[in-house]
Amino acid sequence: MNFVIIMLIVLTFVSRIMGLGREIALAYFYGISDISDAYLMSIAIPTIIVTFVIVSLATSYVPAYQNLEEDAVTKKAFTNKVMGLTCTICLLILVVSYFFMPQIAPLFVSGFDAPTMALTVVLTRITIFAVFFMGMNQILQSFMQVKEKVLLASLSGLPFNIIAILFIVVSVHTSVEMLAIGTVIALGIQCLYLLILAHRQGFKLKPQFDLKDATIRNLIVLTLPIILSNTALQIGIMIDKNLASRFGAGAISALAYATRTTTAISGIFVTSILVVTFPKIAKQSAVGDMPQLKDSLAESIVGMGLFIIPVIAAVLLFAQPVITLLFGRGAFDTEAILLTSSLLFFYIFFLFGDGMTQLLSRVFFSLGDSKTPMIVSVVTVVINVVLNFVFIALIGIIGLALATSVSAMIGLALLFVLLRRKIGSLRLRDTVISLNKIVGASVLMAYGAYFVYQYLEDFNATLALLVAAVFGIGIYGVLLVFLRIREVNNLLAIAISKIRNRWKKT
């Protein structure tokens, strides 16, 4: 783990806090209601559709770019051809989705009543115009990754969230449609920001559509299994939302707030590590340096564990106080807090399974194998759907969260076994030792923080939670140093060396 990852985590944290601010604003003004359900689905539907293809294309873009010859002209032309393909696909999505939205929306949320379904169609016919920005944003983010200029790109969520929050407030005093209009404008500003950053790296937007180009054909071949993989995952999400919609008004919103809290954490830590690691692993694979690739994998696993495991331990004890702090105001009442925190409690294990699965999948992509992650994704979704019905019958809507977490862990185990068969021993003995130490430190941290919280809770719950968080972070840091985790010691050595060098210069 290096300082770029640490800085990226810090910047992403700032961006994600703003993202949570958007959710807090929505929860404050609309609670868990038919309006919030319709609005969230108006964002989810275009996102899911775009994820089917464009996110898959952006993922395969990184290893495909790294495998090109070191020719700047060729690489710029390749990026514009990918942009041309992206824009063409987005145009098709826009036309089909706009005219057939009344038929498409029920596929995602069959449990909505007629008024909520009608509102969902109206809002989604507005947000669907943002597919161009969504698609271009994905490719531009990947371009910044391969250029190793990820720090400023990580802040692209800031303008999006600020504008989205502004329009949530505006919608309360004007019309609900302003929620959707604000989303389109916010994504457009985000795209403009990324285009400016890419331009500074020498990229000039001149989309070209050329399916005859060999590099584009190779990209499509690599992308197709990833599309099928993402399609399987999105179908799983569609089924979850569909089942949740049958539990009445607000169920989808509660599910969304719990998942958004989880994905916000994932975006801070998992995405930050993947953004830095993926291009490096792709380059190591391109030159055939397998020992170094395995070292990078081991380092990334411990890096994720350092952040994800303590978060899981903390959420298991603090799910309700966290949801209360984030959303517990305005129209978000006690019933909403209890439901959302219960969902978060069971969702949080998904954080580890999904984070590690994304990392291992990118190792496969770097090796030119996108079929194996596809097969595992399909198997995972099938398991998830089966477990959905089993757990819903036992514990109701909370079963959706539990099924998602369990299936994610099963998928992770399958990928580990298949990767070991593909490249041999992963040399993870030291990694497992480090993870065990992290688990021990995380448990002690969580219970220490909870003791502080209980002691101060009667005085002021919010202050108690913040003091407990600071206390827990302090305990965790001391324990990591005391337990002599190799990756932590290496990071400290680098930090001390940089401080000494700067001291000498002054």
What secondary structure, in 3-state letters, does 273-332 show? Answer: HHHHHHHHHHHHHHCCCHHHHHHHHHHHHHHHHHHHHHHHHHHHHHHHHHHHHHHCCCCC
The predicted-structure confidence for 371-414, as pLDDT tens digits, reads as follows 898 899 889 989 999 999 999 988 888 898 899 899 999 999 99
Q: Which two tokens stand for residue 327?
A: 């959303």
- Per-residue pLDDT, 500: 64
Compute φ and ψ for 276, nearest 5 degrees: -85, -40
Give the C-alpha separation, 441 to 158, whole Å. Answer: 33
- Per-residue pLDDT, 196: 92
Give the C-alpha separation, 57 to 40, whole Å. Answer: 25
Region at 330 (left for phi over 0; alpha for psi -120 to 50; beta for the rest): left
pLDDT per residue as tens, the chain (506 positions): 555 666 767 777 777 777 778 888 888 888 878 888 899 889 988 988 887 788 888 888 888 887 776 665 677 788 899 999 999 999 999 999 999 999 998 888 777 888 999 999 999 999 999 999 999 999 999 888 888 777 778 788 888 889 999 999 999 999 999 999 999 999 999 999 999 999 888 888 888 888 888 888 888 888 888 888 777 777 777 788 778 877 776 777 788 788 877 877 777 777 777 777 778 888 888 777 888 888 888 888 888 888 889 989 998 888 888 888 877 777 677 888 888 888 888 888 888 888 899 889 888 888 888 889 889 988 998 999 999 999 998 888 889 889 989 999 999 999 999 998 888 877 778 888 888 999 999 999 999 999 998 888 888 888 888 899 899 989 998 888 888 777 676 666 665 665 666 666 55
| Residues 6 or more apart whose Cβ sits within 8 Å of residue 139 | 54, 57, 58, 61, 79, 82, 83, 86
- Per-residue pLDDT, 3: 58
- Per-residue pLDDT, 309: 92
Give the C-alpha separation, 318 to 457, whole Å. Answer: 12
Rounding to the nearest 10 degrees, give the CA dihedral for residues 388, 389, 390, 394: 100
